[in-house]
A = this chain, B = another copy of it.
């Protein structure tokens, strides 16, 4: 049964698994999680690294931060095992357990709105926040000693206007897919499986990828109308990934070997103000042209950046590795538009996501510089924030976070 795709589900009665899995809260044994079909756009789920980091960026995002609402370590581990089984099924394009063919007296295991949809390159990437290791001085799950030094709390940066209910969280899940219904479905079903163990603290939908990790393809544009991701770490540049993105077991926290650290920032863009500025001011802000995206002083988008030709306070000059002792990050952000605020302005911006090996040396170093001097600060404000340690990818028969809890 776990072999059928959602497309072919209706041929299947669903009774066997539904019977094995107690209604609604059924624990599907991890052994049942099987390999993905290679067709239909499924991204492999098991492996040394979690998918959704080096994976070519999908079109849509649903990011959720959860609070753990139990003190019971075993229940938490049990949930992570169930999540892993569900993750394997959903990323493979299969429902989690029964969806429509189960026992009539039971709630279906899967909520059903992705039935008939292909996998859409769904990836699920899990991370653990600082508060999972210690909260209000309390070692909640006996994990305090295992907190990586790299998972330091982010400092306050100049200009930050962080909203507590868009920040933090004990566990995060980044769901990316080419179809938003598939990404939303995945988060919803994880939340449902986790009922009583975790509760959604906040979540964010992203509708337009802003950072390509596939430099050969057309670079997407952010809400300022500029190409974004031109000089990003490429998802197939193994050397750069090893150097800047994947944590090593020797970095200090052995359980994080093959994992990565993610920093997320909900960055509101004042697009009404931006839209009234001149083309020159816009281009000076980045040190790149709007049309082609070439850096000042060079001709084409992908030409090397002649740093000295860019305005001293331009975003690209300040963020470039040559201005930061070689520091690089893997950006994987999305645009968002969440209706409008009370003043008739679009609540729009960039949900910034960056993966790296050590946030203290990468995001924090960069953002300290940018928060102080970036000309772009006139047009943006950071309103949400989170930092999470993303463990290595689950192995077959294992589960998300196994190296941490082992």
Contacts and interface: CB of A to CB of B under 8 A. Distances in A.
A207 B205 contact: yes
A237 interface: no
A115 B203 contact: no
A338 B337 contact: no
Interface of A: 9-10, 24, 60, 62, 64, 67, 99-108, 111-116, 165, 180-181, 184, 188, 191-192, 195, 199-205, 207-208, 218, 221-226, 271-272, 275-280, 282-283, 289-292, 335, 337-340, 342, 344-346, 348
A100 B275 contact: no
24 contacts: A100-B291, A102-B279, A103-B279, A104-B278, A104-B279, A104-B280, A107-B276, A108-B279, A111-B225, A111-B271, A112-B221, A112-B225, A112-B290, A113-B208, A113-B221, A113-B225, A184-B207, A184-B335, A188-B271, A188-B346, A201-B340, A202-B339, A202-B340, A205-B337
A204 B337 CA distance: 9
A116 B218 contact: yes
A277 B107 contact: yes
Nearest to A115: B221
Contacts of A165: 342
Contacts of A106: 278-279
A83 to B, nearest CB: 16
Given A102-B279, A107-B277, A278-B104, A62 B337 contact: yes
A335 to B, nearest CB: 7
Given A24-B276, A111-B275, 7 more contacts: A9-B291, A100-B279, A104-B280, A111-B225, A112-B221, A112-B226, A188-B346
A348 to B, nearest CB: 8
A211 to B, nearest CB: 14
**6 tightest Cβ-Cβ pairs between the two chains A and B:** A112-B225, A100-B291, A199-B344, A180-B207, A100-B290, A104-B280
Given A113-B225, A181-B207, A346-B188, A291 B101 contact: yes
A48 B276 CA distance: 36
Contacts of A218: 116
Contact of A291 (B10, B180, B345): B10
A67 B343 CA distance: 12
A340 B173 CA distance: 14
B225 A280 contact: no
B99 A290 contact: yes
Given A113-B223, A275-B192, A346-B191, A340 B203 contact: yes
Contacts of A278: 104-107
B111 A203 contact: no
Contacts of A200: 340, 344-346
